Amino acid sequence: MSTWTTADLPDQTGRTIIVTGANSGLGAVTARALSRAGARVILACRDTAKAERVADGLPGAEVRALDLADLNSVRAFTDSIERVDVLINNAGVMALPLRRTADGFEMQFGTNHLGHFALTNLLLDRVTDRVVTVASVAHRIGRLDLADPNWEQRRYDRWLAYGQSKLANLSFAHELQRRLAGEGSAVISVAAHPGYAATELMSHTESIQDAVMWLGNRVFAQSAEEGALPTLFAATAAVEPGAYYGPDGFLGLRGKPARASSSGAARDRAVAAELWELSEKLCGLI
């Protein structure tokens, strides 16, 4: 059993770390812990007012606007970055009613995957250490429909759409590591998931499910502080390139950081390569 906690965080003095979605939940906890460990943390957020409240009192913390649901915002953000040691792709939306990003993508696929895909690729030449992508146990219910990733032809299902977006996150993280290794890069790609953690993410379905998940947060979930540990471990510890980390308890829902298992679909190299090529086209990167 793992015993790793924030007390085991290595000194981050002199390192610059970007955390997307750091205005609340797991992102806010992650940003605070890294700042206290000495890092210069850039809170990359759509809601900059909330992010400023998180950053208040954190030495070296800086807030910059980033809307992952708008590729113009992603490009503007990346243009403002000179160098970063660690990029943490943390931000996400979950189980929303059908809506679309500024670029016309289904909101969950567009925000959770495509926004982070574009962000990572546009920043990669300035990343010195690693990229951490936050996935979810929900990747197991996902299916990558690369013929209709934006739910334009299928009947929309909010949970299957969320599962698809998180499967895309994990598939992307694995494929990124393969490409970095193939280029002989010292930069690594790592994935993490929080298990079942109580955060605001679970209160924006705009349905009766919000009440159900509120109860689940109160009764079953671990805290956001516990849920952020796998991300912090993946971002700072001596990890295996391309690996996936999550809680070590029952079904990976709670516990301390350890190697996690992923679905066969997440490890499908052919699909991952196809997803990468499609994402490049959708994001206008080729």
Residue 162 known to be catalytic: yes
Tell how strand 40-45 and strand 16-20 pair up: parallel
At 120, list the tokens.
């990572």
- Return d(Cα 124, Cα 190) in angstroms, integer: 14
| Buried/exposed 197-225: b ≥16 CB within 10 Å, e otherwise | bbbebbeebeeeeeeebeeebeeebbebb
- Return d(Cα 213, Cα 190) in angstroms, integer: 28
Say if CB 97 and CB 158 are below 8 A apart. yes
- Going by the DSSP 8-state scheme, the letter that residue 138 receives in this structure is G
Residues forming a β-bridge with 244: 191
Question: Which of the following is catalytic: 162, 196, 244, 245?
Answer: 162
Closest CA to 134 of 91, 198, 176: 91
Say if CB 147 and CB 275 are below 8 A apart. no
The catalytic site residues sit at 162
